[in-house]
Amino acid sequence: MAPHPLRGAAAVVGVADAAAPSGMLDGSVPQLEARMIREALDDAGLTLADVDGVSVNNGLGWAPSLELAERLGITPRWTDSTQTGGSSFEIHVQHAAAAIALGLAEVVVVVYASTPRSDFKAGTGGWGSRQAVGQNPQAEWERPHGLRMPMGAYALAASAHMHAYGTTSEQLAAIAVQTREWAAMNPRARLQERITVEDVLASPVEASPLHKLDCCLVTDGAGALVLTSAERARSLAKPPAFVLGAGTAHTHAMISQMPDLTETGGVVSGREAFRTAGLAPSDVDVVELYDSFTITVLLALEDLGFCAKGEGGAFVAEGPLGPGGALPTNTNGGGLAYTHPGQYGMFLLVEAVRQLRGEGGDRQVPGAEVALAHGSGGVLSALSTVILGTEATL
């Protein structure tokens, strides 16, 4: 069978991200976006003059990519403002790779910046997911009933998974424990102290069965990616991370409309990404999974095929996710311990690229050739999977 036309047509050639142990960053969202784009272009050996496509999703204005390009003073011939929450950037990469494959753009920047922690401290509100955003079905049919969001929605999914498969709080806690082992090796991580399963269970209940240490951080954070064609990628400064496959699926917006609380659209997005890449879960060397909550990771492991449906609890309890484990996962410390500015998907991609380049430092997974980044947006609503590989995988 001929390879999929998307496979290897484009590559990520520049990355940047910003996070700090304080959880706060200096600068406004537009300044941070510009800083990340500058650093990611420097990383690639390109300049703003090379950029002819932009992809951005922020809560600032009415048309994010128009406003970004105006601020940058450029005239893109390709544009994308797709907003699916935390998985937006995996979708941006999928769209950008397809556009580059068709010649609609040659150099695309994808950027994200958000400062919820600084905003809360300044009393100017947080990011969109915490605010009432006008009149919408959720305001009418869910919010009045007193479910804390977003953790309550994920708690309902955890409740259903526990009932269906006997998954335990200890097993969910094991995910947080293994993620923290990676964070302990990341000097930029917000939380760097190792924790135990007992620590997770002793932390306050936020929405049962989820404890505080099952939940992601609220920090400032920013990042950017630069993508270009495979041909041009080979002439640039760093080893390309080729886009081997990508897939997307969304199943609902409100948690009460989720078709099956124990299975996400990751079943579809993962299948599409692996099919495009011509690879299987056993080919993946390093895994970056959206970890808004520990249950998010457990569902992703099952839905992507790293273990069978219902066996995620027993799987993670064996300790495969941490340093030296069989399935190194969330090697930067994840949204649970590194940074989580509301839409974490950007940081999955940046870390995946760094691992493929061998730039992981203490956290480097030896010989990483294939990396998977799996975003989840909304309340397990929109899933998007990107598989990246080194030159050796083509």
Single residue of 205, 268, 314, 317 touching another protein by CB under 8 A: 205
Single residue of 60, 104, 160, 185 touching another protein by CB under 8 A: 160
Q: Out of 112, 154, 165, 290, pick the active-site residue.
A: 290
Residues 79-118, mask of contacts with another protein (x by CB under 8 A): ----------------------------------------
Residue 182: CA count within 13 A, CB half-sphere:
32
Taking CB under 8 A as the criterion, which residues in 130-159 touch another protein? 135, 137, 139-149, 152, 155-157, 159
Cβ of residue 262: shortest distance to another protein, in angstroms? 9
The window from 51-59, 96-104, 208-216, 237-245 that contacts another protein (CB under 8 A) reads 208-216
Cβ of residue 149: shortest distance to another protein, in angstroms? 8
Neighbouring C-beta atoms of residue 22, cutoff 10 Å: 11
Q: Does 195 bind another protein (CB under 8 A)?
A: no
Cβ of residue 212: shortest distance to another protein, in angstroms? 11
Whole-number Å distance between alpha carbons of 340 and 388 = 22
- In the structure encoding, which two tokens stand for residue 45, read together? 């050996």
- In the structure encoding, which two tokens stand for residue 178, read together? 């293994």
Q: Is 338 a catalytic residue?
A: yes
Cβ of residue 113: shortest distance to another protein, in angstroms? 28
Q: Specify the residue, 209 or 270, whose C-beta has the smaller distance to another protein.
A: 209
Taking CB under 8 A as the criterion, which residues in 291-350 touch another protein? none
Q: Are 69 and 54 in contact (CB under 8 A)?
A: yes
- Pairing type for strands 221-229 and 10-18 reads antiparallel
Q: How many residues bind another protein (CB under 8 A)?
A: 32
Cβ of residue 127: shortest distance to another protein, in angstroms? 17
Q: Specify the residue, 150 or 333, whose C-beta has the smaller distance to another protein.
A: 150
Q: Are 365 and 285 in contact (CB under 8 A)?
A: yes
Whole-number Å distance between alpha carbons of 120 and 127 = 9
Cβ of residue 325: shortest distance to another protein, in angstroms? 30
Single residue of 28, 47, 208, 235 touching another protein by CB under 8 A: 208
Q: Does 202 bind another protein (CB under 8 A)?
A: no
From 386, 349, 98, select the one nearest 248 (Cα to Cα): 386
The angle subtended at Cα 160 by Cα 155 and Cα 163, nearest 5°, is 125
Burial of 237 (0-12, 13-18, 19+ CB in 10 A): exposed
Cβ of residue 248: shortest distance to another protein, in angstroms? 21
Q: Specify the residue, 31 or 257, whose C-beta has the smaller distance to another protein.
A: 257
Q: Does 163 bind another protein (CB under 8 A)?
A: yes
Taking CB under 8 A as the criterion, which residues in 240-279 touch another protein? 254-257, 261
Whole-number Å distance between alpha carbons of 119 and 60 = 13
Whole-number Å distance between alpha carbons of 371 and 96 = 18
DSSP 225: E
Q: Out of 112, 154, 338, 344, pick the active-site residue.
A: 338
Q: How far apart, in Å, do the first and last CA atoms of the chain sit?
A: 15
Single residue of 209, 312, 313, 328 touching another protein by CB under 8 A: 209
Q: Are 228 and 236 in contact (CB under 8 A)?
A: yes
Residue 248: CA count within 13 A, CB half-sphere:
15
C-beta contacts of 126-130 below 8 A and 24+ residues apart: 126/218, 126/342, 127/59, 127/341, 127/342, 127/343, 128/59, 128/342, 129/85, 129/342
Single residue of 106, 206, 303, 351 touching another protein by CB under 8 A: 206
Q: Specify the residue, 20 or 160, whose C-beta has the smaller distance to another protein.
A: 160
Taking CB under 8 A as the criterion, which residues in 27-56 touch another protein? none
Active site residues: 290, 338
Q: Which residues make up the interface to another protein (CB under 8 A)?
A: 135, 137, 139-149, 152, 155-157, 159-160, 163, 204-210, 254-257, 261
